[in-house]
């Protein structure tokens, strides 16, 4: 694909409405209006890039070949796809070449997966009619990355309240551990670490994961101060019984890291493969039964150290369905950002009357309405279907559906969905007159959250109780 597009650029050929190429053994018809520019990866990487391209392609099929569009993966039976350019690397020059080449080939909307585009997004904004920036903010971006030029007004920033996915995954891990007492014993422990501290993309995942176990413990120990939380104990036991029908007793789970120690080591200080070994060794030595790495390829580091240390620890994956990458022996579930769903939703919004799109001229020549997402940052606080957990052999769909409602019908929300709504507000906007707990650095976030190692601050417990 890159060679073909490079030739197009060199010959200065501007594509018409579609470009047809042969990809492997399948012949696809590519919609040249919609382009995914990868962050240096490929569209078959089982990660952000692939998810973005599949979401964009599903949207293309819904418009170009609607008879092949429907529930699930029905769109894959169509030969229509979104166009794509696999950037050779994450350098400024390679990203800029990808943007220019895509524009020459007809791009009206460019989709940029991952925050690595953050240093070059202004150049893309000056080329495309509209941009979808995945996992980042589209606000305050200057055209051509030049502060002397106007701020771009054509970007949708897709951001994810990953604390909700972290919570769902943590609850699933608590259920899994309680269903596997014969393997892990009753002294159950968990841990998490990140690559680098980022309150909007890394440490929010970790926060939600940690808080999940405090809430799980509060439920099963039936604190009389919070009777509605305690009333969820039968629902939790029912969840465990979906995995182990013979389970009758529920066990609390502890954190191997000290949430109120300002010197606790939470990050490997890198997202590079190989840099997660030391912190993984430390967490394994402390007896962690489940580890949640939020550090990109360092998931493999943690798997390697589990093997080396002959541990029986398991892993919660991050961002995408990582059991498909690393296998279901180690990955019990994944905390998800639903990139494909959010990409498709953003395209539906862009190519609608809400954003002034005129199908007859294939252009945006009408006034935008207040429901247009362009020039806004959209987050899963308003889109619950953008977060979730991965069903696996260890935690099947029968269990994940009891944890999180994915139907899109809010009347079917679980009690845990209601708890998540409170946690999202606690993290990012504040509740009960209290400031949001999210701080610039993770130790500050934890200090804002906890009154002791195993107790959230009272106002958080009360907010959850009131919601239930």
**pLDDT of amino acid 286:** 98
**Residue 195: DSSP 8-state:** S
- Report d(CA 425, CA 437) in Å as an integer: 9
Cβ contact 377:152 at 8 Å: no
Q: 317 has which bridge partners?
A: 334
- pLDDT greater than 60 at residue 4: no
**CA dihedral for 458, 460, 464, 466, sign (positive or negative):** positive
60, 58, 34, 39: which is closest to 49 by C-alpha? Answer: 39
- pLDDT greater than 60 at residue 289: yes
Q: Report the length, in residues, of the chain.
A: 468
Instruction: Report how far Cα 212 is from the mean position of its chain's Cα atoms.
Output: 17
Cβ contact 389:338 at 8 Å: no
Q: How many CA atoms lie within 13 A of 345 on its CB side?
A: 21
Cβ contact 197:266 at 8 Å: yes
**Residue 372: DSSP 8-state:** -
pLDDT 10s digits, 336-393: 999 999 999 999 999 999 999 999 999 999 999 999 999 999 988 788 889 999 999 9
pLDDT-based confidence at residue 26 (cuts at 50, 70, 90): low
User: How far is CA 261 from each of CA 257, 258, 279, 416, rounded to the nearest angstrom?
Assistant: 9, 5, 16, 29
- pLDDT greater than 50 at residue 174: yes
Q: Which range among 25-29, 329-333, 366-370 shows the weakest confidence by mean pLDDT?
A: 25-29
162-178 and 415-428 helices cross at what angle (nearest 10)? 130
- pLDDT greater than 50 at residue 255: yes
Contacts of the segment 60-64: beta carbons below 8 A, 24+ positions apart: 60/31, 60/34, 62/344, 63/31, 63/351, 64/29, 64/31
- Report d(CA 417, CA 403) in Å as an integer: 7
- pLDDT greater than 90 at residue 8: no
SS3 260: coil
Q: What's the whole-number mean pLDDT along residues 75-90?
A: 95
Percent of the chain with pLDDT over 90: 86
pLDDT 10s digits, 226-254: 999 999 999 999 999 999 999 999 999 99
Q: 81 has which bridge partners?
A: 30
Q: How many CA atoms lie within 13 A of 305 on its CB side?
A: 22
pTM of this structure:
0.87
Q: What's the whole-number mean pLDDT along residues 394-419?
A: 93
Q: 130 has which bridge partners?
A: 109
**Residue 67: DSSP 8-state:** G
- Report d(CA 82, CA 362) in Å as an integer: 16
Cβ contact 224:230 at 8 Å: yes
pLDDT 10s digits, 102-118: 999 999 999 999 888 99
């Amino acid at each position: 694909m890159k060679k073909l597009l490079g030739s197009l650029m060199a010959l200065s050929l501007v594509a018409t409405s579609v470009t047809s190429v042969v990809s492997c053994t399948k012949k696809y018809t590519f919609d040249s209006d919609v382009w995914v520019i990868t962050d240096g990866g490929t569209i078959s990487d089982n990660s952000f890039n692939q998810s973005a391209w599949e979401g964009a392609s599903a949207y293309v099929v819904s418009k170009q070949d609607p008879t092949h569009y429907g529930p699930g993966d029905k769109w894959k039976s169509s030969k229509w796809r979104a166009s794509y350019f696999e950037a050779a690397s994450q350098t400024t020059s390679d990203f800029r070449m990808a943007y220019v080449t895509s524009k020459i080939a007809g791009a009206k909307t460019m989709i940029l997966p991952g925050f690595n585009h953050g240093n070059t997004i202004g150049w893309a904004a000056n080329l495309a009619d509209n941009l979808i920036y995945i996992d980042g903010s589209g606000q305050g971006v200057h055209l051509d990355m030049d502060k002397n030029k106007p701020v771009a007004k054509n970007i949708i920033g897709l951001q994810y309240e990953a604390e909700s996915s972290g919570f769902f995954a943590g609850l699933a891990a608590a259920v899994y551990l309680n269903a596997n007492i014969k393997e892990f014993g009753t002294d159950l422990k968990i841990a998490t670490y990140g690559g680098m501290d980022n309150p909007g993309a890394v440490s929010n995942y970790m926060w939600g994961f940690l808080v999940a176990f405090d809430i799980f413990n509060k439920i099963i120990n039936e604190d009389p101060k919070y009777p509605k939380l305690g009333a969820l104990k039968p629902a939790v036991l029912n969840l465990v019984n979906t995995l182990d029908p013979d389970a009758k007793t529920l066990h609390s789970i502890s954190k191997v890291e000290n949430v109120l120690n300002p010197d606790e080591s939470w990050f490997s200080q890198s997202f590079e493969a190989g840099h997660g070994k030391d912190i993984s060794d430390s967490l394994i030595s402390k007896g962690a039964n489940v580890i949640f790495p939020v550090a990109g390829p360092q998931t493999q580091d943690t798997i390697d150290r589990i093997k080396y240390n002959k541990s029986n620890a398991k892993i919660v994956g991050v961002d995408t369905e990582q059991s498909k990458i690393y296998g279901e022996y180690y990955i019990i579930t994944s905390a998800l950002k639903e990139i494909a769903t959010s990409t498709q939703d953003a395209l539906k919004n862009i190519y609608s009357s809400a954003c002034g799109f005129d199908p007859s001229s294939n252009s945006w020549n009408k006034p935008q309405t207040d429901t247009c997402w362009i020039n806004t940052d959209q987050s899963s606080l308003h889109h619950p279907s953008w977060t979730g957990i991965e069903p696996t052999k260890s935690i099947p769909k029968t269990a994940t559906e009891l944890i999180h409602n994915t139907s899109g019908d809010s009347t079917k929300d679980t009690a845990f969905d209601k708890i998540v709504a409170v946690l999202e507000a606690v993290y990012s906007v504040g509740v009960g007159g209290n400031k949001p707990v999210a701080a610039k650095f993770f130790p500050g976030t934890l200090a804002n959250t906890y009154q002791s190692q195993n107790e959230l601050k009272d106002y958080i417990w009360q907010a959850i109780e009131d919601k239930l």
